[in-house]
Structures are given as C-alpha cells and as structure tokens.
Structure 1
Amino acid sequence: MVKGSFDMHFTDKVITINEGEFIIIPRGVEHKPVAREEVQVMLFEPATTLNTGNTENEKTVKDLESI
C-alpha cells in the first residue's frame, strides 16, 4: 500500500490493508477491494492477468503496454 487504506473482501472474511502493508492473494481466490476514500496502491500481476478478471467486455485490455 502506498497511501491510504482499504478492505479486501473475500467470500468468508474481510481484511483491512493499511498504509505500508501488503497482501498476497493466491491465483484463483475470489476477492474484491473496497475503499471508503481514494487510495494509492501498487499491483504486481502476471502479464496474462486481464484487468476485468474472468469477464471480457469493452473495458477489457488484452494488449498491455510495457514500461
């Protein structure tokens, strides 16, 4: 977490992630980040991870830019 805090919702629990903390979510685990205020986060994901998860629609980005 770079700035702020948010809750990570899982099917059976909710974990609060605070500034300076991080969380590792195993592949295939359903999760939903929920923030009450604006937060800044840094994500590390495999390049094959779609930004819309298992749903493909007009917001899905398949060809990612390299930094």
Structure 2
Amino acid sequence: MTLIVNGETITVPDEVKTVSDLLSHFRLDNKLAIVEVNVRIIQKHEYGITTLANGDRVEIVHFVGGG
C-alpha cells in the first residue's frame, strides 16, 4: 500500500493495515505520538481499529527528548 506520511510518499508492507500497525512499522508504538489520517486526528484508543487505505495522507508527530 502507498501512503503519504508527513508529506512523503512511501510504500508499506501488506501487513500494515491500521494506524497501530503503521506505528509499529516505524518503531513508534511505545512512544508518545499524535496521528492524523486524512485531516482527522485519531484518538489513541482508535489506533488498532482505524484502517488505512491506499493513498491516505498520514501525519505523525512524536516527541523527542534532548537538551
């Protein structure tokens, strides 16, 4: 499936079907992240049930510590 993630067109493996799968694919599943799919902010409890489709626009914002 092809998605537009943070403005970049990427192809993800077939096993990526939900927002939760996508976060796992990017190794962000244990990090605090905000996800928007097609201009809709997805609540954390919806990550596992929100399915992705070819061409979806996804924005992922995650926080990085440092100083």
Higher percent of residues as helix: 2
- Larger C-alpha radius of gyration, 1 or 2? 1
- TM-score, length-normalised on structure 2? 0.34
- TM-score, length-normalised on structure 1? 0.34
Higher percent of residues as strand: 2
Return the structure number with greater relative CO, CA threshold 8 A, min gap 6.
2
